[in-house]
Chains A and B, each alone.
Chain A
Amino acid sequence: MDFLRPGTWEEALAAKAEHPSAVPLAGGTDVMVEINFDHRRPEYLLDLNRIGDLYEWEVGERDVRLGASVPYTRIMENLRGPLPGLALAAHTVGSPQIRNRGSVGGNLGAASPAGDSHPALLAAGAEVEAESVRGTRLIPVERFYTGVKRNALEPDELIRAVRVRKADGPQQFAKVGTRNAMVIAVCAFGLALHPRARAVRTGIGSAAPTPLRARAAEEFLDAALAEGGFWDSGRDLPPSLVRQFGELAAGSCNPIDDVRGSARYRRHAVGVMARRTLGWAWDAYRGSERTTRCA
């Protein structure tokens, strides 16, 4: 095994081009487990810890450009305002020790259907900035997940950053597990209201081979909210509407039975989380609508 230690992003790209089989190593919270248990013996480890750019973020007009290696702890501490859904998801990852090292770039690299950033990224809207010596491409996050633990990166590409849309409305994240800390999601759900576009976006985790959006539920809700004038009135959502949203979200799942839960339970739980996160987010939206309208 060789330990490659690029000092700059350009050196990292050059190393990845020269050794496409090299395994990038960021926080190591996925990679080191595999090495400790002998599940993986890469020929090259490509340590990204020395590349300062990957630990920085920029808050722009439309997006937050989040460096691939920014640890979850920093996201919770600094980006709760522009990225509320991702900050909530980050807070549920592992433990303080894991959140101090683990990163969204690593979560995307691993592309586990149970990764907690995915539902939040899907709901907020995001693009993965993939770079190689050949150039940069922006991959919409919903096209980034290509299969169980597979992603759209080419062998010579690295993730430079994730461009996440800044929130223009309330966002929520819910996760089912056996305790609050140190839990791989049985399933998870992210929801974001986008009042400016008058749209609702969602993300489902751990209930299909890849993280995915509940498209049918989104389309149904977008139409129902528009038809009922709910965005303007900020009225209570009728229970029947919320229920149908939950059912459609559950219908988008394609889960499996495993040690953490049965497929049937996962589908059920996704429906419940969809209803609840919509309720919480809509309450927050109504609250803010009321204050702006009264002011």
Chain B
Amino acid sequence: MRVNCTVNGRPREADDVWEGESLLYVLRERLGLPGSKNACEQGECGSCTVRLDGELVCACLVAAGQAEGREVVTVEGLAELAAQRAPDAGAAGDQGRDGAQTAGLSPVQRAFVDAGAVQCGFCTPGLLVAADDLLARVPDPSDADIREALSGNLCRCTGYEKILDAVRLAAARAGETV
């Protein structure tokens, strides 16, 4: 079957989609967006986390046909989404902590880089989408809020501490600019 949906603000079309196929498969294998990761295919790890009509979901558990006509945001679209939310802040071309060019990173992505929250990086896209969703809802989250919001995302490398640091950092920076 054919599936039409909006991905990261652009209308996309996937053909020859198998009826039992997941949105994750369509994103990765048919639309060339491999940012969302496939680790467990059973909703346990959160590495496939995307937004579907604004809601945080596991793309591996959404049937492709259920995304028909809907809006999907993946990690590839986070910078653009952030730029839309705060047009003045301008995501593109920002300078990172050590002056390195971190073009096209959203504030949450930049905070993950700066806090050292990325090791192998496999869990990172899902965590970024989840953290971005949290900060959009709760600009100044408590530690309990952060733990709760990230409880559906597993990381095998970092031990989570630096990930928590990154979310706190992103929240603090957003607080400064307001």
Contacts and interface: CB of A to CB of B under 8 A. Distances in A.
Contacts, number: 87
B35 to A, nearest CB: 16
Contact of A47 (B42, B65, B149): B65
A27 B57 CA distance: 10
B14 interface: no
Nearest to A73: B55
B66 interface: yes
A25 B65 CA distance: 11
B139 to A, nearest CB: 17
Interface stretch (A32-40, A109-117, A154-162, A196-204): A32-40
B68 A5 contact: yes
Interface string B15-37: 00011101000000000000000
Contacts of B68: 5
B43 interface: yes
B56 interface: yes
A28 B66 contact: yes
Contacts of A180: 151
A36 B130 contact: no
Given A97-B49, A181-B152, A47 B43 contact: no
Contacts of A5: 65, 68
Most A CB contacts (10 A, CB to CB) among B49, B57, B130, B153 go to B57
Nearest to B38: A36
Contacts of B20: 1, 35, 41, 45
Contacts of A32: 22, 43, 60-63
A2 B17 CA distance: 11
A230 interface: no
Interface size class of B (residues with CB under 8 A): 20 to 34
A25 B64 CA distance: 12
A97 B43 contact: yes
B63 A97 contact: no
A180 B152 CA distance: 11
B19 A33 contact: no
Contacts of A37: 41-42
B41 A97 contact: no
B61 A94 contact: no
A169 to B, nearest CB: 28
Nearest to A33: B42
A49 interface: yes
Interface in A80-112: 94-98, 100-101
Contacts of A1: 18-20
Contacts of A41: 20
A8 interface: no
A32 B43 CA distance: 9
B152 A98 contact: yes
B79 interface: no
A182 interface: yes
B100 interface: no
A96 B149 CA distance: 7
Given A1-B19, A182-B44, A182-B151, A96 B130 contact: yes
B1 to A, nearest CB: 6
A94 B148 CA distance: 11
Contacts of A25: 63, 66
Contacts of A27: 61
A3 interface: yes
A255 B57 CA distance: 33
Interface of B: 1, 18-20, 22, 41-44, 46, 49, 55-58, 60-63, 65-66, 68, 130, 148-149, 151-153
Given A32-B63, A182-B44, 6 more contacts: A29-B61, A36-B42, A45-B20, A47-B65, A47-B66, A95-B153
